[in-house]
Amino acid sequence: MTATQLIRRGNIATRQTVSMEDYLEAIALLSEGSKPVKVTEINSALRVKNPSVTSALTRFT
């Protein structure tokens, strides 16, 4: 597969890019289970700028 993976959930197929997966992993690690995570924490962990994090987060909603 390429950088885009096809993930099946029931009968619905969704596309999840590797970068989206990176954001989810960073959020999971930074949240320590239940702690809210700030945009600045995510951008520091992934070495990206605030607008990139904000843009990525809007794709998850």
CATH number of 4-59: 1.10.10
Whole-number pLDDT of residue 61 = 74
Whole-number pLDDT of residue 37 = 94
Asked if 20 and 59 count as a contact pair (C-beta separation under 8 A), the reply is yes
Q: Domain-by-domain residue ranges, the chain?
A: 4-59
Whole-number pLDDT of residue 33 = 75
Please tell me the distance from the alpha carbon of residue 45 to that of residue 10, in angstroms, as a whole number. 32
Instruction: Write out pLDDT tens, residues 4-20.
Output: 444 455 544 556 677 88
